[in-house]
Structure 1
Amino acid sequence: MTRLYLPTTLDRLRVAWAAGSFAPQGDVVVAEGDDEDSEYAALMTAADASADLLAGAGRRVVVVAEVADLEGAGRPVPLKRVVALHADPDDRPAGADPDDDLAWYATQEIPDLLG
């Protein structure tokens, strides 16, 4: 399995949740290795891309999904392939520290996050 880090926003996540699949828009980040440091670097790279999607204040959101191979990186990802979600705990102001960590959410918490 290949782990993908998909930058998004809460609005785009709402659309994906309703559709039952997540269509990557923009950069799809893949960790260089399966060690913790590589995965964290991939997460933060995707977080930076999420901040670019916001173009201002809001919550960075990164969807983490596992696909069979990298060929799946450009296609819609069924929500059953989502293994976790990372997001800012609260709206962050434009220009906030890009190195701030994101909170981890289990997939069953996504409806609460969107609510």
Structure 2
Amino acid sequence: MSVRIYLPSTPVKLATWWASGVVPAEAERYVAPDSTEESEYAALMEAADASTDLQASPYRRVVVVAEVGTPDGPVPFREVVAVHADPEARPGRADPDDDLAWYAVQEIEDLLTGF
């Protein structure tokens, strides 16, 4: 059985994780209490808020989403299913109603060149 986790990140951290092929075990993570769309969205938005707290202005929220066997430990990128990120940097904190763009794993390199 797999668990979906949401890992708050920054553009710089995402680049570092991508280059190493793994999200380190000490990375903060959020887990939805169940698999309902509402719970998963709430966990995503909590991770997005935490992403903002990891950086200084301008902000660009980044959340890595993975399906893992256990929510603890390092996360190899083969278990990453998507990345959510603000389409562009913003000078102030994001409005909680602002949606994040969705990027497939194969789009991560293109996303990183756009940061």
Q: Aligned residue for 2:77?
A: 79
Q: CA deviation at 1:52?
A: 0.2
> Which one-letter code corresponds to 1:114 in the other structure?
L
The correspondence of residues 98-113 of structure 1 with structure 2, limited to 5 A, is: 98-113=96-111
CA contact (8 A) 1:6 1:24 kept: no
Q: CA deviation at 1:49?
A: 0.1
Quick check: 1:46 aligned with 2:47?
yes
Give secondary structure in 2 for the equivalent of 1:100.
Answer: coil
Q: Aligned residue for 2:7?
A: 6
Q: CA RMSD in A?
A: 1.3
TM-score by length of 2: 0.91
> Which one-letter code corresponds to 2:48 in the other structure?
A
CA contact (8 A) 1:23 1:77 kept: yes
Paired with 2:95 and 2:60, the residues of 1 have a C-alpha distance of 13
Q: Aligned residue for 2:59?
A: 58
CA contact (8 A) 1:44 1:99 kept: no
Structure 1 residues 24, 56: CA separation in 2 closer, same or farther (over 3 Å shift)?
farther
Paired with 2:14 and 2:105, the residues of 1 have a C-alpha distance of 12
Identity score, percent: 58
What's the CA shift string for 1:43-102, capped at 9, x where partnerless?
A: 0000000000013212100000111123xx2x2210000000000000012233133110
Give secondary structure in 2 for the equivalent of 1:111.
Answer: helix
Q: Aligned residue for 1:97?
A: 95
Q: Aligned residue for 2:20?
A: 19
Answer 1 or 2: which has greater helix percent: 1
Give secondary structure in 2 for the equivalent of 1:54.
Answer: coil
Residue ranges of structure 1 left out of the alignment (5+ in a row): none
